[in-house]
Amino acid sequence: MKKQITYIVCFLCFAAQYSVAQDVHFSQYYLSPLSLNPANTGNYSGDFRLFGNYREQWRSIKAYTTFSGGGDFNFYPRNRHFSAGILLVHDNSSENLTVNKILPSLAFHKKIAGWNVNIGAQPGIAMKSIGDFNSYTFPSQWNRDKAGFDRGLQNNEPNAGLQFIYFDMSAGASLSRKFGKWEPELGAAFFHLNRPQENFMGNDDTRLPIRHAYTAALTRYANDFFRIKVHSLYGYTSEASDWVSGINVEYILSKTLFFTNSLYAGFMWRDGFKRNPDAGIFTVGMNYAQYTIGFSYDVTFSQLKTSNSKGAFEIALIYRAKNTHLTQKILPCERY
């Protein structure tokens, strides 16, 4: 049964290349800053940042394994705040379909009327490949005598390639502001702006639609020990949509000049308009000195699950260096 399910997953992944391809995504999207929004490049307090994310979904059938990593840094030419970074993505679907992405990014940050405004762009390249094309079966390989598929027969797909590379362009913006104990955040990102061609057949009639991603969050500083954050991500492309919303409760252990040490836990819900609920997501994590580490587990509620594999496991790690840039200037001058 597991072998049959694996073949089905492989076929679905391959067939997706002819219609609408699904980008990789993380449940802890707020700990994968550059894959969420190019405007997040450098949007933190610190000189530079390193990050990594790992996700394993439906482990028993080896359906999806995703890794991303990268870093970004801040620089200030003529006292203007710019940032640059890079995101590397490796995604494997059922051990046969592989996606690799190299995505540099650049962002500009400015404070306007009390709001922190961030604008970013992310040009890059994506590479997709099939490990073993002969592991798939096609309608022309149906053998009536055996009542099954026969890989010894011709697949009648002479134009299919094993890999292709394309240029990809994305951009986004975000803003935030603190009002006393409240801090709202808003963001919008648009991926595949150039609508690149994406298929293994070499024709130009299949192009990626633009993917939209909108984020909103609200942090409440309850007191010196607790922070509560509600957050939501809604994305859609063509006919597909994804909506993840949740809440994190953070307990502050201690504070230093540069960092806050804390523990947090939360719950999220993944759904979509005009479709069934997908999953409930449990999260825990901690901030200690320069490090942030987070864990999550998706419990699948939809019908797209197997008896022995009900969800996905995820781990995220961020290292953030101290901020050595002078933000305030005080002149020790007496007033007469």
pLDDT of residue 288: 95
Residue 331 lies in a domain: no
Radius of gyration over every alpha carbon of the chain, rounded to an integer in angstroms: 23
**Is position 327 within any domain?**
no
CB 40 within 8 A of CB 49: no
- The CATH number of the domain holding residue 303 is 2.40.160.60
Q: What is the pLDDT of residues 147-204, one digit of tens each?
A: 777 666 766 665 566 788 999 999 999 999 999 999 999 999 999 999 998 777 666 6
266-291 pLDDT, tens digit each: 999 988 766 667 789 999 999 999 99
Structural domain span for residue 133: 2-320
Asked whether residue 111 is assigned to any structural domain, the reply reads yes
Would you list the DSSP string of 54-76?
EEEESGGGT-EEEEEEEEEEEE-
CA trace torsion 160, 162, 166, 172 (10° rounding): 110
User: Three-state DSSP class for 25?
Assistant: coil
Residue 51 lies in a domain: yes
Q: Report the C-alpha gap between 145 and 150 in whole angstroms.
A: 10
Domain-embedded: residue 333: no
Q: Is residue 20, in this structure, part of any structural domain at all?
A: yes
Number of structural domains (the chain) is 1
Alpha-carbon dihedral of residues 239, 64, 266, 35, nearest 10 degrees?
Answer: -70
Kindly state whether residue 336 falls inside one of the protein's structural domains. no
Q: What is the DSSP letter of 5?
A: H
pLDDT (tens digit, 9 = 90+) per residue, 86-119? Answer: 999 999 876 678 899 999 999 999 999 999 999 9
Mind listing the pLDDT tens digit for each residue in 35-53?
A: 999 999 999 999 999 999 9
Residue 189 forms part of a structural domain: yes
Contact assessment for residue 181 and residue 221, using Cβ atoms and an 8 Å cutoff? yes
